[in-house]
Amino acid sequence: MQQDEDLEPKAVDECRQRNDWPKWKNAIQTELASLEKCEVFGPIVRTPEGVKLVGYKWVFVRKRNEKGEVQSGRIWYNRLSEYLLNEGYKNDTICPCVFIKRSGSEFVIIVVYVDDLNIIGTSKELPKAVECYLSDPHKARSQTGYLFTYGGIVISWRSMKQTIVATSSNHGEIIAIHEASRECVWLRSMTQHIQEMCGFLMKTDNPTTLYEDNVACIAQLKGGYIKGDRTKHISPKFFFTHDLQQNGEINVQQIRSCENLVDLFTKALPTSTFEKLRQKIGMRRLREIK
């Protein structure tokens, strides 16, 4: 029974038959509340004739067991292990994180470390797969995007591929917010110059709020340049944002991903989310303008 409980359910009916149904039920209710808050659901209307509705299904991913211990890593490993074994790789209990595949004089070794894979081998197919990924800058590099508003009006925006390969999502976010910080400094300077030239006496020492949806990035920027194992490779220049925050020029605040307007510039979004964010930044079709 315990082995079955470790497996992820495929449907709500299957969840109801499990001993941990109360926790799955709470997770479902939490997800529905989040969707409602983000205005994912619109008003209920009749289905027009000839229109085929798009279906949906629940996807259940187990992150913790009954004792509250994190299980997502073990489940991920079990799936990876099953796939590699089906592909002809072998491993044993002595070192379960090492998978070896041999064919004649050719061999491939895959070492699993947390959620990273170290791949070593002589197979001709293996280098091709790795080189194909690394040679394509559109796949190997993250997307930077930002926009600035003043008085509710968008005054500056940008979307571009990063010039270096980020080694983690945190690294990519630090690079992106570094670019946004540089633009912020110029915008603050230009705004102050225009105000002075026009004779406007306005308080300009308030920090500019930058919204970030990556918690690890926010924590890293508060601490500054720390030579830890996970961040020691990041160039100190990218912590320019930390100095601006310390000087009171900017204030980095967390924002929910579903409310992050910059996702318009960095991700392929569902139509409903795209339309909602497009409205929020003030973009309208000509026929919508009265």
Flag whether pLDDT at 137 surpasses 60.
no
Q: Looking at the structure, do residues 173 and 258 belong to the same domain, yes or no?
A: yes
Q: Looking at the structure, do residues 226 and 262 belong to the same domain, yes or no?
A: yes
- Residue 5's pLDDT is what? 56
- pLDDT band of residue 6 (cuts 50, 70, 90) is low
Residue-range definition of the domain harbouring residue 100: 14-21+57-135
Query: What is the secondary structure of the chain as a DSSP string?
Result: -HHHHHSPPSSHHHHHTSTTHHHHHHHHHHHHHHHHHTT-S----PPPTTPPPP---------B-TTS-B-HHHHHHHHHHHHHHHTT-B--TTSTTEEEEEETTEEEEEEEETTEEEEEE--SHHHHHHHHHHT-HHHHSPEEEEEEEETTEEEEEEEEE-SS--SSHHHHHHHHHHHHHHHHHHHHHHHHHHHHHTT------SPEEEEE--HHHHHHHHH-S---TTTTTS-GGGGHHHHHHHTTSEEEEE--GGG-TTHHHHS---HHHHHHHHHHTT---GGG--
Share of the chain above pLDDT 70, in %: 82
**Mean model confidence pLDDT for the chain:** 79
The pLDDT of 251-257, averaged and rounded, is 89
- pLDDT band of residue 26 (cuts 50, 70, 90) is confident
Are residues 171 and 220 in contact, defined by beta-carbon separation less than 8 angstroms? no
**Residue 52, domain member (yes or no):** no
Which of 170, 152, 287, 153 minimizes the C-alpha distance to 234? 170
Are residues 159 and 268 in contact, defined by beta-carbon separation less than 8 angstroms? no
The pLDDT of 100-129, averaged and rounded, is 74
Q: Looking at the structure, do residues 90 and 154 belong to the same domain, yes or no?
A: no
Which of the listed residues 101, 116, 135 is the one where a domain comes to its end? 135
Q: Looking at the structure, do residues 74 and 91 belong to the same domain, yes or no?
A: yes
Q: Looking at the structure, do residues 177 and 277 belong to the same domain, yes or no?
A: yes
**Residue 8, domain member (yes or no):** no
- pLDDT band of residue 149 (cuts 50, 70, 90) is very high
Q: Looking at the structure, do residues 213 and 90 belong to the same domain, yes or no?
A: no
Which of the listed residues 135, 155, 177 is the one where a domain comes to its end? 135
Are residues 101 and 87 in contact, defined by beta-carbon separation less than 8 angstroms? yes
Flag whether pLDDT at 225 surpasses 70.
no
**Residue 253, domain member (yes or no):** yes
Q: Looking at the structure, do residues 185 and 268 belong to the same domain, yes or no?
A: yes
The pTM of the full predicted model, rounded to 2 decimals, is: 0.51
- Residue 185's pLDDT is what? 92
- pLDDT band of residue 125 (cuts 50, 70, 90) is low
**3-state SS, residue 60:** coil
Q: Looking at the structure, do residues 123 and 148 belong to the same domain, yes or no?
A: no
How far apart are the C-alpha atoms of 2 and 8, rounded to whole Å? 12
**3-state SS, residue 226:** coil
Q: Which of 15-19, 179-183, 207-211 has the lowest mean pLDDT?
A: 15-19
Amino acid, res. 46: R
Specify the pairing of strand 143-150 against strand 116-121: unpaired
**Residue 157, domain member (yes or no):** yes
Q: In terms of pLDDT, which residue wins out, 209 or 109?
A: 209
The pLDDT of 197-204, averaged and rounded, is 71
Which of the listed residues 135, 162, 177 is the one where a domain comes to its end? 135
**Residue 34, domain member (yes or no):** no
Q: Express each pLDDT in 62-109 by its tens digit.
A: 666 555 555 566 777 887 888 888 878 888 777 888 888 887 777 888
Q: Looking at the structure, do residues 76 and 189 belong to the same domain, yes or no?
A: no
Specify the pairing of strand 153-161 against strand 116-121: unpaired
Flag whether pLDDT at 148 surpasses 90.
yes
**Residue 42, domain member (yes or no):** no
- pLDDT band of residue 146 (cuts 50, 70, 90) is very high
| Beta partners for residue 116, in sequence order | 113
- Residue 129's pLDDT is what? 42
Q: Looking at the structure, do residues 264 and 217 belong to the same domain, yes or no?
A: yes
Count how many domains the chain has: 2
Flag whether pLDDT at 202 surpasses 80.
no
- Residue 2's pLDDT is what? 41
